[in-house]
Amino acid sequence: MHSRLLRNGGGLATVARALTPGGRLATGVRGLASGDQRGTTAMRELLDRALTKVNEHGWTQQAIVAAAEEAQLPPMAYSIGKPVDLVSHFMDRALDTTCCEAEDQLHELDTATDKLRLLCRIRLRQTGRVVRRWPEAAALLAQPQNVPLAMRQLNALASQLWYLAGDASTRGDWYLKRSALAAAYVASELYMCEDRSPNFQATWDFLDRRVQGVQEAVDAGASAKAIGEQVSRNLLNILASHGYVPR
């Protein structure tokens, strides 16, 4: 049912499997041409391991180094991947997980709004696992050189969630629907960063209101530009509250 919409491009290295003297499989690094499929797979495996280090080290090179050391990779592997690659990889994995977990639940819901609410909840639970560190990820994505990546990821999320909710149209409101959903999702995710309520109950209440507002925005014909500007304001405000950017 689900499909991967985005993948971090180009393998930066190829990781070859080699037997250690003890007979166990260990992972070694060979720098090869960009785009090698084995290298791309190896990068994902390393980033998967690095995701388990994020709560301790944040979205940093140190998280990648810790993962490489745990995998007994040589020092030349420590520079494979950048912090923003780790953030992007998390977003890829989180979308995949959302699609898989929602697959058996969506048929129980009747309306697109209810389906979008479920999908956003499942996706937000992925962020909930690293929520203390998420403002750091948002700060990375807000850097000028990373904004195109952030927009691609957000578009992929909104497009996939609308598709799973049953909307595959190409009508004139296609962009508006996706912009409105993206705005609702980002606002809810950033709200979650400040939420101290039990089990994020305040976030779920906030999300319910925002998702309901998605259809209202579409019905009212709100402009995608205005919605995008609201997303930017929300992002800057939350980053400023964490000391990452000036208000």
Q: Does 64 lie in the same domain as 32? A: yes
- 59, 81, 103: which is the final residue of a domain? 81
Each of the 247 residues of the chain gets a pLDDT tens digit; together they read: 444 433 333 333 333 333 233 223 234 444 423 445 666 788 889 999 999 999 999 999 999 999 999 988 888 777 778 999 999 999 999 999 999 999 999 999 999 999 999 999 999 999 999 999 999 999 999 899 999 999 999 999 999 999 999 987 666 678 888 888 998 999 999 999 999 999 999 999 999 999 998 888 777 765 555 655 655 565 555 555 545 554 4
Q: Does 187 lie in the same domain as 94? A: yes
Q: Does 19 fall in a domain? A: yes
Q: How far is CA 20 from CA 17, 32, 38, 43, in A?
A: 10, 22, 20, 21
Q: Does 49 lie in the same domain as 151? A: no
Q: Angle at Cα 18 formed by Cα 15 and Cα 20, nearest 5°? A: 135
pLDDT for 230: 59
Q: Does 124 lie in the same domain as 40? A: no
Q: Are 149 and 84 in contact, with CB atoms under 8 Å apart?
A: yes
Q: Does 103 lie in the same domain as 27? A: no
Q: Does 2 fall in a domain? A: no
pLDDT for 204: 98
Q: Does 246 fall in a domain? A: no
pTM: 0.78
Q: Does 1 fall in a domain? A: no
Q: Does 190 fall in a domain? A: yes
Q: Does 88 lie in the same domain as 73? A: no
C-alpha–C-alpha distance, residues 185 and 91, integer Å: 13
- 29, 57, 81: which is the final residue of a domain? 81
Q: What is the extent of the structural domain holding 107?
A: 84-241
Q: Does 34 fall in a domain? A: yes
How many separate domains does the chain show? Answer: 2
Q: Does 130 lie in the same domain as 60? A: no
How far separated are the first and last CA of the chain, in Å rounded? 42
